[in-house]
């Protein structure tokens, strides 16, 4: 299918359920998904058939459009079947992190009020405890065999209706949510961003505006994102729609296995975090990335030196893009500029009006190379579910989203990410940008990872602290790190709060550094 015909399909379809069915039926024998951990493959026809059968069973169970379906688990071949069934029936989908503990689960379930959850068996005990404490009538379905399994659910609620007679649900796309996506929660409990079906269709049309290539041949896309991440939500539906085989694994977090996957299946595209990029660069002799035609680097501040090293080692026709987006805008609001300067996140995406403002005065910044908070107006979420105060706080009076991120742009309207505003360190009257210190410290041969945070000071406001993970066998000292900063940066940027060494930095479930937790640890740690 050409991009033009896909744009027409998106424009004419009431909601994503129709688009999904149409795309799957066009190429029934194509491989839809692969689980690299087991070697199993599944065709479009099989995925569509199983999704329709589950959609029929969920209707018989009693769910109605607007009822919430929760979903969590490893990326096996069953994981996205409830996702597709929900799309067909108009059930809002909320991803549940299998690593969530009681308080996190309680916050999520209290906000979203799901009627049914599909998950791994190991997650059920904690989910039951939370549901009982909330008085929530929650049906639990396990992906594993046995009592309460998805197989048993399908048998219990089987309907005598041919697949060909299945009718995709019709509902008000301006009222029914498609996705309920938990924000990353780097500094506190996550909020839940809610997206109506109409908004999702508009986002997909915007997304198609800058995909110019007609996909006449099938490609393989590597999906490493769990279903609760915005990238996981996106990949689950965009890959089959764009005729990409979804390569994933039910054995996450194993870098040796990931390298085996890439070497064996030779994917054409992948999304990677800056942290994963650094790992693959360190193990370059073991992994062959020459198969990749498109690499999207996103999730946090990218290291320009690492990007340049990756570019230098890959074929010239490999496109490496640095992307920026946020949960509340359902992903990108800047279109990666393939031929743009290194370090740029690109130019404004179709459908978005962007501007920079002074974080202190709110005045718009129009000159290039001056830092300001990025404001965005365009396709975005409807609300933080059950949280009108936080929803209101996110928007300016004239309807722009306050991203909370510091950017600058060049004279050609290329935007460059600087740092999170809330992460900026105020030393007396000066602002210290943590990412500037981090980029410098990472240049030390003995440093594997670093995050710069701060501790309060009664006279100076805040003092920067470097949280450092040494490379194996490294003996780098705190004094070396402090001297590195002292010799290369201004005096007010010195590490007056010291250096703390960690075996590993605390992370959120979405793979970002848990800044709130890190600050707590640093306050009580031995700072050198």
Which tens digits make up the pLDDT trace of 319-347? Answer: 888 888 889 999 889 988 777 888 888 99
pLDDT of residue 213: 45
Average pLDDT over residues 205-216: 62
pLDDT of residue 28: 96
Average pLDDT over residues 73-88: 98
Cβ atoms 409, 345 nearer than 8 A: no
Classified as helix, coil or strand, 157 is coil
42-46 long-range contacts (CB < 8 A, ≥24 apart) are 42/77, 44/240
| Domain layout of the chain by residue ranges | 15-32+43-217, 327-422, 424-524
pLDDT of residue 250: 96
pLDDT of residue 409: 96
Q: Report which of residues 411 and 510 the model is more confident about.
A: 411
Sheet of 415-420: strands edge to edge? 324-326, 331-335, 344-348, 415-420, 401-409, 372-377, 353-357, 364-365
pLDDT over 80 at 44, yes or no = yes
H or E stretch covering 119: strand 116-119
* Residue 333, phi then psi, degrees to nearest 5: -120, -5
Is there a shared CATH topology between the 15-32+43-217 domain and the 327-422 domain? no
Query: Which range, of 120-134, 354-368, 436-450, 508-522, averages the lowest pLDDT?
Result: 508-522
Tell me the CATH number for domain 15-32+43-217: 3.40.50.980
H or E stretch covering 331: strand 331-335
Task: Name the architecture of domain 327-422.
Answer: Roll (2.30)
Cβ partners under 8 Å of residue 456, min gap 6: 462
Q: Residue 414: which pLDDT band, with cuts at 50, 70 and 90?
A: very high
- Pairwise CA distance, residues 101 & 109, whole Å: 12
218-235 residue pLDDT tens:
799 999 999 999 999 999
pLDDT over 60 at 188, yes or no = no
pLDDT of residue 515: 82
pLDDT of residue 2: 63
46-68 residue pLDDT tens:
999 999 999 999 999 999 999 99
Average pLDDT over residues 366-392: 94
Q: Residue 160: which pLDDT band, with cuts at 50, 70 and 90?
A: confident
pLDDT of residue 275: 79
Q: What is the mean pLDDT of the chain?
A: 90
pLDDT over 60 at 480, yes or no = yes
Average pLDDT over residues 494-505: 93
- Pairwise CA distance, residues 432 & 465, whole Å: 11
pLDDT over 50 at 217, yes or no = yes
pTM summary value: 0.85
Does the domain at 424-524 match CATH 3.40.50.720? Answer given as: no
Q: Residue 124: which pLDDT band, with cuts at 50, 70 and 90?
A: very high
Average pLDDT over residues 99-107: 87
pLDDT over 50 at 455, yes or no = yes
**From start to end of 371-524, where are the E strands?**
372-377, 383-384, 401-409, 415-420, 425-427, 430-432, 447-457, 461-470, 499-502
Q: Residue 447: which pLDDT band, with cuts at 50, 70 and 90?
A: very high
pLDDT of residue 350: 84
pLDDT of residue 183: 84
pLDDT over 60 at 243, yes or no = yes
């Amino acid at each position: 299918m050409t991009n033009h015909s896909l744009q027409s399909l998106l424009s004419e379809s009431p909601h994503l359920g129709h688009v999904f069915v149409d795309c799957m039926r066009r190429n029934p024998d194509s491989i839809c998904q692969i689980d690299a951990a087991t070697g199993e493959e599944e065709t479009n026809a099989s995925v569509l058939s199983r999704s329709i059968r589950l959609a029929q069973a969920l209707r018989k169970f009693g769910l109605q459009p607007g009822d919430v379906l929760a979903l969590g688990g490893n990326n096996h071949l069953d994981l996205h079947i409830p996702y597709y069934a929900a799309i067909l029936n108009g059930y809002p989908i909320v991803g549940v992190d299998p690593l969530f503990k009681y308080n996190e689960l309680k916050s999520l379930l209290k906000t979203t009020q799901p009627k049914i959850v599909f998950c791994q068996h190991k997650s059920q005990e904690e989910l039951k405890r939370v549901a009982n404490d909330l008085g929530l009538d929650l049906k639990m379905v396990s992906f594993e065999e046995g009592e309460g399994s998805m197989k048993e659910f399908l048998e219990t609620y089987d309907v005598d209706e041919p697949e060909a007679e299945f009718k995709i649900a019709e509902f008000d796309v301006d009222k029914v949510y498609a996705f309920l996506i938990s924000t990353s929660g780097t500094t506190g409990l996550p909020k839940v961003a809610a997206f109506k079906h109409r908004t999702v269709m508009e986002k997909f049309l915007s997304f198609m505006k800058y995909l110019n290539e007609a996909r006449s041949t099938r490609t393989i896309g590597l999906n490493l994102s769990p279903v609760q991440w915005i990238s996981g939500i996106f990949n689950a539906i965009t890959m089959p729609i764009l005729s990409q085989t979804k390569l994933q694994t039910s054995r996450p977090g194993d870098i040796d296995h990931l390298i085996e996957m890439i070497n064996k299946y030779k994917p054409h595209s992948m999304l990677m975090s800056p942290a994963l990029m650094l790992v693959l660069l360190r193990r370059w002799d073991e992994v062959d990335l020459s198969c990749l035609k498109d690499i999207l680097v996103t999730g946090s501040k990218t290291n320009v030196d690492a990007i340049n090293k990756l570019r230098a080692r890959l074929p010239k026709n490999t496109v490496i893009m640095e992307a920026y987006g946020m949960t509340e805008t359902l992903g990108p609001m800047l279109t990666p500029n393939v031929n743009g300067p290194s370090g740029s996140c690109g130019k404004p995406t179709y459908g978005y009006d962007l501007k920079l403002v002074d974080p202190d005065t709110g005045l718009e910044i129009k000159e290039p190379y001056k830092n300001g908070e990025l404001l965005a107006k365009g396709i975005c979420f409807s609300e933080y579910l059950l949280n009108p105060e936080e929803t209101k706080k996110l928007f300016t009076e004239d309807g722009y989203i306050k991203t909370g991120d510091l950017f600058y742009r060049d004279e050609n309207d290329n935007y460059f990410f600087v740092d999170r505003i809330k992460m900026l360190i105020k030393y007396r009257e000066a602002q210290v940008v943590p990412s500037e210190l981090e980029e410098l410290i990472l240049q030390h041969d003995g440093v594997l990872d670093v995050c710069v945070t701060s501790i309060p000071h009664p006279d100076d406001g805040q003092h920067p602290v470097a949280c450092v993970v040494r490379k194996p066998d490294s003996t780098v000292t705190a004094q070396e790190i402090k001297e590195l900063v002292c010799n290369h940066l201004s005096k007010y940027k010195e590490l007056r709060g010291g250096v703390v060494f960690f075996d590993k930095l605390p992370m959120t479930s979405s793979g970002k550094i848990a800044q709130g937790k890190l600050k707590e640890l640093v306050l009580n740690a031995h700072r050198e």
